[in-house]
Amino acid sequence: MVSFHVSNREHMNYSVVAFILIIFVAQNVFAQEYTYIPDLKNQLIYGPLQLQDDSLPPIPKRRLLPENMSFMEKDLWGEDGVFRTMGLAAPLTPESRKRELTLRRTMLTAHQIGGFVTLSSMIMAVYFGQQVIDGKYGYRRNHSLFVTTTIISYSATGLLAVLSPPPVIRRNEISTTTIHKTLAWVHFAGMVLTPILGMSIGRHATTSQIAHFHQASGYITTAALAASLLVVTF
């Protein structure tokens, strides 16, 4: 039987070698962990590494304005629109758009209320105008007063809609808003034509052909305005 005897000196040498191996392995393990964890953290916080960015599709930029904007909206509320250029509106950012959408809701609510005020005034103007055509000339002053009130109210109400900020998305589909805007062209044309016809009528020539055109234009304009309000209210 052969016996092996290891001296203390050799035992010490083996211990030193083992200790060095342990330090070397531990250093490599901790070094790998140290270099891996920060990369993982950066990926979680800042996104994929640059080498990975080339292999991933680009993230689409979020649209802040609708694609189908009118010329008026582009000129006023576009990225380089008049309101932003003059400092009346903040630069185009998600935060500024949130404020603009709040302003839009406020202006359109006031636009709707103004529409009913205008309709009430227009109905009174039509009523007193009918009285004048029926020969009751004493109502001419009342008719003129409500005509003036209607024109002022109509203009202010229309500007609330025209100058309001655009929405984020505008769908190309027929809706109550589409009908409302179509009828708006009808009563807008009536608001231009009816006063012109009224100024063409002589003081007592209420039986002339122009007077009847003026009367018909007033009724059509009132009906168009009432219909445009009803389709977006009910």
Question: Each residue's pLDDT tens digit in the chain (234 positions)?
Answer: 444 444 444 444 444 444 444 444 344 433 333 333 344 344 334 444 444 445 555 555 678 899 889 899 999 999 999 999 999 999 999 999 999 999 999 999 999 999 999 999 999 999 999 999 898 999 999 999 999 999 999 999 999 999 999 999 888 888 999 999 999 999 999 999 999 999 888 655 666 788 999 999 999 999 999 999 999 998
Same domain, 136 and 196: yes
Q: Is 66 part of a structural domain of the chain?
A: no
| 64, part of any domain | no
Domain check: are 25 and 107 in the same one? no
Owning domain of residue 40:
8-49
Are residues 134 and 186 part of one domain?
A: yes
Same domain assignment for residues 165 and 108: yes
| 59 within some domain | no
Say if residue 85 is in the same domain as residue 27.
Answer: no
End-to-end Cα distance, the chain: 109
Together in a domain, 165 and 217:
yes
> Is residue 57 assigned to a domain?
no
Please give the tally of structural domains in the chain.
2
Residue 89 within any structural domain of the chain: yes
DSSP 133-160: HTT-GGGHHHHHHHHHHHHHHHHHHHHH
Integer Cα distance of 232 and 183 in angstroms: 11
Radius of gyration (C-alpha) of the chain in whole angstroms: 39
> Is residue 65 a part of any domain in this protein?
no
Global pTM value: 0.71
- 39 and 128 both lie in a single domain: no
Residues 33 and 109 in one domain: no
Residue 231 CA to residue 83 CA, distance in Å, equals 31
pLDDT of residue 174: 86
The token duo for 60 is 């689409």
Establish if 32 belongs to a structural domain: yes
158 located within any domain: yes
The CA-atom distances, in angstroms, between 162 and each of 118, 165, 182 are: 16, 9, 14
